[in-house]
Homo-oligomer: A and B are copies of this chain.
Amino acid sequence: MTNNIKVLRAIKNISQEDLAKKIQVSRQTINAMEKGKYVPSTVLALKLAMFFETPVESIFTLESDD
């Protein structure tokens, strides 16, 4: 699975740290997520979708190996 959190963050001009605070996770969680180091929970995905005002499907994309 891939995501475009980094781009969405750039559009909203918000740092990893501030985003982390907004959705109540650690900064490292945001960083690791952007780097594709792990698959976030659905709660996290929904919170990001709410924050960025966009569907979950426009943030996260399944890949063939998922």
Instruction: Point out residues on A near B: beta carbons under 8 Å.
Output: 1, 39-47, 49-50, 55-57, 60, 62, 66
Contacts and interface: CB of A to CB of B under 8 A. Distances in A.
A21 B46 CA distance: 25
Q: Could you say how many copies of this chain the assembly holds?
A: 2
Contacts of A44: 42
A48 to B, nearest CB: 9
Contacts of A60: 42, 46
A62 B43 contact: yes
For the complex of A and B, the 7 pairs showing the least CB-CB separation, nearest first, are A56-B56, A42-B45, A39-B41, A43-B66, A46-B62, A39-B43, A40-B42
Contact of A1 (B42, B55, B57, B66): B42
